[in-house]
Amino acid sequence: MTLHFENLWEKCEEFHQENSENDNSQEIVDELLLKINIYKTVSQKSELLQDLQDEQRQIKSRLMGEILLTLTNLSLKDNINVYEALNVALQQRSIESYSEKYQAT
């Protein structure tokens, strides 16, 4: 059974609700930063892993999953409507991008 992304997100939040009651936002952000730094390190080592591109892709995919799972915990703890937050961010970025792209010179 394939889940829609929003259903998967909610399922992840439910997982955290059942298993991560004592986490606070700062601990979650620290965990997120750690995982992002590991992702950055793996990305920087790409020249060393040219023979292992498939393995590197798998590692990065796994790390991205861990990053997203951590974000679901943060959205749960801080009661963030991620759809609305992402939509607003995209709209704002689109306006900025459009303004820069078509700025009168």
Q: How many CA atoms lie within 13 A of 48 on its CB side?
A: 5
- Give the torsion sign (CA, 31, 32, 35, 40): negative
**pLDDT at 48 (0 to 100):** 61
Whether 64 and 39 have beta carbons less than 8 Å apart is answered as yes
Global confidence as pTM: 0.83
* pLDDT band at residue 12 using 50, 70 and 90 as cut-offs: very high
Distance CA 67, CA 60 (A): 10
Tokens matching residue 16 = 């955290």
pLDDT in tens, 24-61: 999 999 999 999 999 999 888 766 656 677 888 889 99
Task: Give me the residue spans of the domains in the chain.
Answer: 5-77
